[in-house]
Amino acid sequence: MIELNNVTLYFGQNKVFDDLSVSIPKGARCCISGASGKGKSTLLKIIQGFVKPQLGNVIINDEVLSSKTISSIRNNISWVPQNIDLPVESGIELMNLLKLTSSDKKLIGFFIEKLGLNSDILEQSFKEVSGGQKQRIVLAICMAKQKPILILDEPTSSLDDLSISFLINLVNSLDKVTVVSTSHNDKWVKSATQIIKL
Amino acid sequence: MIIMKQIVDISFWQLGFGYLILLLPIVGLWLFRTGLIKSLLIGASRMTVQLLLVGVYLGYLFELNNAWINIVWVIVMIFVGALTVSTRTGVNKKMFVLPFIIAGFTSLVIIDSFFLGAIIQLDYFFDARYFIPISGMILGNSMNHNIVGISAYFDGLVQKEELYNFLLANTNDRKAALTPFVQDALKKALNPMIANMSVMGLISLPGMMTGQILGGSSPAEAIKYQIMIMLAILTGCSLNLFLSLYFSNKYAFNKYGALKKGIIVQKKIRPRN
């Protein structure tokens, strides 16, 4: 369960959220929608403690987000941001950078194939794969970490229609995982069990 | 047998005449409209005044040769170096001057203890003739390499904050999240020095060695000192940069591990006309 209670956030003089309260149940497929600049990505950052609101609090699995609980909360979260500039050249290198355990690595083939790719692509240079393939590799690697909360910022931005269907099917098969995402894609938004409109 | 000749002194008239050679780069810079002429003239003037003053100060310091005065002199150098690094990299002085001072001080204590105490084995550790110039060379070089390394580190973190957050979120390990940024800073700062060291003697003769030979030392003696000072500089620069990054990290992130705002507060000082 993820709860945001009476969250108010200013960036300088600009009020981003005013007394926002949101509750996302465990196992939900929650999609945050809204026009650009409404604070969708910022909301994801608040949940992870990267942005601290001036007022209100965040509770994740009964723990109030604070400097004391941030480490145990982050242990339960995996996050895939939009269009990240990675300092590595392949999926294998990314797996090492993200410190995947041997049990995580055993699962990677399952996630890669569910996203319509072959496991060999992990060894290929990112320069040789398309933007959509790279995005699916990053998604598969983060999912293989098997965290109870999966945060996806515009996961469909570089994907074609078929790949979006693969991703929706995969995400829907993860029963115990709470998925919080942002997206402008209709298909993705419609597949959500909860929509938060900003 | 090598017969060492008496050093040929340069008169102030000759020194003044030497400045005329600057006309060559000035004409080149003017032709290509680089906007660097004013910076060159200011730089050359500052260098002249600073070195003349240092010449006078060092004369007094060598004469007094008092441990406390020498220590204070070196501490002032550390302080000025830390301030210069903050200014040149454009980082927030209030946040980072202290970590840079601590890094400079710690690295210098280690390097001076090793080279002056254990290698040269001076009878009087704080002998101004050794303690001040060697500390100065280490600090001066460290400052230049710190400017490159600190700039690369904080520019990288500010420009690629999303990458840092991504790594922190998915590893829950700040050290792992910072590793690519530290690697980049160390490579950018130390690569040129390592490259320079590897061709030393082949395509470049270092200033200290040249100075010693001109001052009357034998080449064999000058080379031994040059090797020692190169090792001291390389180790000192690496250590100073590593410690600067380490201590800076205590001030650059909030309690949630997120990068604080306002780390870079001003544009870096760049040459302009």
pLDDT band (50, 70, 90) for residue B269: low
Contact B263, B31 (CB under 8 A): no
Q: Given CB atoms, is A12 within the 8 Å cutoff of chain B?
A: no
* Residue B190 CB contacts under 8 Å (≥ 6 apart), including other chains: B145, B149, B234, B237, B238, B241
Residues B44, B167 within the same domain: no
What is chain B's mean pLDDT, rounded?
A: 89
Total domain count, chain B: 2
Residue B271 in domain: no
The interaxial angle of helices B67-89 and B93-112, nearest 10 deg, is 140
Residues B51, B167 within the same domain: no
Q: Given CB atoms, is B224 within the 8 Å cutoff of chain A?
A: no
Q: Note the pLDDT of residue B272.
A: 42
Q: What is the mean pLDDT of residues A118-129?
A: 92
pLDDT band (50, 70, 90) for residue B9: confident
Chain B positions touching A85 (Cβ under 8 A) are 160, 162-163
Residue B3 in domain: no
The closest CB to that of A99, out of B166, B171, B255, belongs to B171
Q: Given CB atoms, is A51 within the 8 Å cutoff of chain B?
A: yes
Q: Given CB atoms, is A48 within the 8 Å cutoff of chain B?
A: yes
Residue B258 in domain: no
Residues B151, B21 within the same domain: no
Q: What is the mean pLDDT of residues A24-37?
A: 91
DSSP-derived pairing of the beta strands A149-153 and A178-182? parallel
Write down which residue in B22, B37, B64 finishes a domain: B64
- The DSSP string of chain A is -EEEEEEEEEETTEEEEEEEEEEE-TT-EEEEE-STTSSHHHHHHHHTTSS--SEEEEEETTEE-STTTHHHHHTTEEEE-SS---S-SBHHHHHHHTT--HHHHHHHHHHHHHTT--GGGGGSBGGGS-HHHHHHHHHHHHHTT--SEEEEESTTTT--HHHHHHHHHHHHH-TT-EEEEE---HHHHHH-SEEEE-
Q: Give B222 to chain A, closest Cα distance, Å.
A: 44
Residues B23, B120 within the same domain: no
Predicted complex ipTM: 0.92
With H, G, I as helix, E, B as strand and everything else as coil, classify residue B173: coil
Greater pLDDT, B268 or B165: B165
Residues B91, B128 within the same domain: yes
- Phi–psi pair at B55, nearest 5 degrees: -55, -45
Residues B86, B219 within the same domain: yes
Write out pLDDT tens, residues B22-71: 999 999 999 998 888 999 999 999 999 999 998 898 889 889 999 999 99
Residue B7 in domain: no
pLDDT band (50, 70, 90) for residue B4: low
Helix, strand, coil content of chain B in percent (nearest 5): 75, 0, 20
Write out pLDDT tens, residues B31-45: 998 888 999 999 999
Residues B84, B183 within the same domain: yes
How is residue B77 written in tokens?
């150098």
Q: Which of B163, B166, B184 to mutate to test the interface with A (most CBs of A within 10 A)?
A: B166
Query: Which helix (H) or strand (E) segment is B160 a member of?
Result: none
* Residue B104 CB contacts under 8 Å (≥ 6 apart), including other chains: B78, B81, B82, B139, B142, B240, B244
Q: Note the pLDDT of residue B273.
A: 40
Q: Give B200 to chain A, closest Cα distance, Å.
A: 33
Contact B200, B206 (CB under 8 A): yes
Residue B203 in domain: yes
Residues B39, B151 within the same domain: no
* Distance from C-alpha of A55 to C-alpha of A9, rounded to nearest angstrom: 7
Residues B140, B216 within the same domain: yes
Does the pLDDT at position B270 exceed 80? no
Contact A122, A112 (CB under 8 A): yes
User: What are the Cα distances from residue B175, in Å, to A96, A98, B221, B243, B257?
Assistant: 14, 12, 44, 14, 11
The closest alpha carbon to B263, from B181, B191, B186, B188, belongs to B181
Write down which residue in B64, B84, B108 finishes a domain: B64
Q: Give the global pTM.
A: 0.84
Does the pLDDT at position A45 exceed 90? yes
With H, G, I as helix, E, B as strand and everything else as coil, classify residue B197: helix
Residue B40 in domain: yes
* Distance from C-alpha of B165 to C-alpha of A78, rounded to nearest angstrom: 11
Which of the residue ranges B126-135, B142-151, B195-204, B224-233 would you say has the lowest mean pLDDT?
A: B195-204
Residues B79, B107 within the same domain: yes
* Distance from C-alpha of B71 to C-alpha of B64, rounded to nearest angstrom: 13
The closest CB to that of A67, out of B170, B180, B255, belongs to B255
Residue B134 in domain: yes
Residues B120, B42 within the same domain: no
* Distance from C-alpha of A117 to C-alpha of A140, rounded to nearest angstrom: 10
* Distance from C-alpha of A145 to C-alpha of A101, rounded to nearest angstrom: 8
Chain A positions touching B180 (Cβ under 8 A) are 87, 97
Judged by CB atoms closer than 8 Å, whether chains meet at A74 and B168 is answered as yes
Q: Give B181 to chain A, closest Cα distance, Å.
A: 9
Which of the residue ranges A66-70, B76-80, B211-215 would you say has the lowest mean pLDDT?
A: B211-215
Query: How many residues in total does chain B contain?
Result: 273
Residues B139, B114 within the same domain: yes
Q: Which residue has the tokens 């608040």?
A: A46
Contact A86, A137 (CB under 8 A): no
Question: Percentage of residues in chain A with pLDDT exceeding 70?
Answer: 100
Q: Note the pLDDT of residue B216.
A: 81
Q: Note the pLDDT of residue A84.
A: 83
Q: Give A52 to chain B, closest Cα distance, Å.
A: 9
Write out pLDDT tens, residues A143-185: 999 899 999 999 998 889 999 999 999 999 988 899 999 998 8
Q: Note the pLDDT of residue B209.
A: 79
Q: Which residue has the tokens 């929706």?
A: A168
Residue B262 in domain: no
Query: Structural domain of residue B51, as residue ranges?
Result: 12-64
What is chain A's mean pLDDT, rounded?
A: 92
